A and B are shown apart, each in its own frame.
Chain A
Amino acid sequence: MIKEWVCGKPRLWRDRPTALPFCPGCQHSVGVRTVLETIEELGLEGKTIFLGGGGCVYPIPTMLDLDGMQCPQGRASSIGSALKRIHGREAIIIVYQDDNDGLAVGTEPLIHAALRGDPVTVIMANNASYGSTGWQMAPAGNQIIPPEMEKPNPSIPINIIELLAEFEGVSYLARGTVSSPEDFEDTKRYVRTAIQKQIAGAGFNLVEILLACPTRWHLTPRESLKWIREEMAGKLPLGEFKGGGGI
């Protein structure tokens, strides 16, 4: 049920200086916004616990007016599972981690949270920043890392949605971008569906958001959006992959 439409900066963003501000052109704040607007619209701020992973997303929980935790790198999914078991329906657990945190260091926690079917919502902010997911795939990878580094193994991003799709405990998987207002609305819709699945206790759900990282990619913000559209989305297709179409 939508309590109110959100305009302007979400209420849940606190206005305070932070030790680690974002780079110009970073899209993490937009990714988090999809979550915050949804939480405000569904009236869930009193129940939400926001878990942040390591890396660039580390300071995010401090910026939000929600119960939150800054988790050791990779372990946010495990911590989220545990919190859900303690609080059950009384809490909405959101895990926000980047691809290095979730798919490299945090492979084990993520896969096992999905196997256990714990009804938590993981937002995978994939900005190809590091890691087997796509560092080598990102444009900077080709510029600063010589091709020899690729040998003897090619570099292929991990498609976490493909991996998790057949787990029985997983109820919803989707991937979107925030490169344009339409993309933002699509992704926000995926996030809402994911959270509604959690409310219904329907099992593990994950929304992957492809985000720009102009700093690491050595591209301008505009070029980064182009890169996401043309290269990343080609290898990691967008849309709903399991449990789509609402509950």
Chain B
Amino acid sequence: MEQAVTRKKVAGTPRLRFPIKSPIASCQGCLHPLAGRILAEVIEELDIGGDTILVGGVGCHATIGGHLNLDVLLPGAAHGRAPDVATGVKRILGKRAILITIQGDGDAMAIGTEPLIQAAARGEKITVIMINNQVYGTTGGQLAPTTVMGHKTTTTPQGRKLEDGYPVHSAELLAKLKGVVYSARGALTSVRNFQRTKKYVKRAIQKQMDDLGFSFVEILGNCPVAWRLSPVDSIKYIEEKLIPEFPLGEFKDIKEVTN
């Protein structure tokens, strides 16, 4: 069982970040790059950059992988299928490869329900990072499976109502599957929450390094453009409206998969 190796704490721009101009930049105030930073710092601290393969979903969140100097599959095939693609890579390369998927909430919990739930149920040794920003940001801000009640999106102009269904709590849902050894939710609204979320991501990846089972981290993100809020107000929105609905914390942390 490999121990976590913290070679050095990272300061300044992570080494893994390419100094290139991306054809798809993030909007002003978007938190996706910050999630990318967590990933870069954790991978550097665990010193697994050489063995990590990122599989991106389809959407703005995919910009995270492209900037990092790692082997990547981007997009990792079709919308929502990243957990299946990661499964395929992991089976071929085996234990030493660290497979991380970066997905959005529309990608992972709508069209991607089947791959995500099934890979988790089988206990595939991969780590899924899902960024929950309440909407399909890339396409203009439509309703997503995670959107809270009352939230106005382009397809729920009067706010989400009962007939649009209830929001899904992904981290809690996945925690119930026996193949999942770790499930947590973080947010990026403050330095403290950043550090907490980073700790969750590190723990999740450590589970994979120890070859225990499926690990999942949901990160509450934002979409100032779709939410029609300023970046600062979007952070407040997460703190006041989203965290009460989607509490932060670790929902599952076990040492082995049991039947």
Are chains A and B native binding partners rather than an unrelated pairing? yes
Residues of A at the B interface (CB closer than 8 Å) are: 104-105, 107-108, 111-112, 115-117, 132, 152-156, 158-159, 162-163, 166-169, 235
- Top-3 shortest CB links A-B: A116-B165, A108-B113, A107-B114
CB-based contact B179/A156 at 8 Å: yes
Q: How many residues of B contact A (CB 8 A)?
A: 32
Q: Knowing A107-B117, A156-B257 are in contact, say whether A117-B176 is a contact too (CB < 8 A).
A: no
* Contact pick for B118, options A107, A117, A163, A169, CB 8 Å: A107
Q: Most A CB atoms within 10 A — which of B91, B114, B259?
A: B114
Name B139-177 residues within 8 Å CB distance of A. 145, 162-169, 172-173, 176-177
Q: How far apart are A64's CB and chain B's nearest CB, in angstroms?
A: 29
Main secondary structure of the interface of A (DSSP, over half): loop
Q: Does B125 contact A (CB under 8 A)?
A: yes
Residues of B at the A interface (CB closer than 8 Å) are: 91, 95, 110-111, 113-114, 117-118, 121-125, 145, 162-169, 172-173, 176-179, 211, 213, 257, 259
- Pick 20 A–B contacts, CB within 8 A, sort by A: A107-B114, A107-B117, A108-B111, A108-B113, A108-B114, A111-B117, A112-B113, A116-B163, A116-B165, A117-B162, A132-B122, A152-B211, A153-B122, A153-B123, A153-B124, A154-B179, A156-B123, A156-B259, A159-B178, A162-B176
Chain A residues whose C-beta falls within 8 Å of the C-beta of B95 in the assembled complex: 152
Q: How far apart are B216's CB and chain A's nearest CB, in angstroms?
A: 14
B95: nearest residue on chain A (CB-CB)?
A: A152
Q: When chains A and B are docked, how far (Å) is the Cα of A115 from the Cα of B122?
A: 22
Q: How far apart are B162's CB and chain A's nearest CB, in angstroms?
A: 7
Chain A residues whose C-beta falls within 8 Å of the C-beta of B167 in the assembled complex: 115
Q: How far apart are A137's CB and chain B's nearest CB, in angstroms?
A: 8
Q: How far apart are B173's CB and chain A's nearest CB, in angstroms?
A: 6
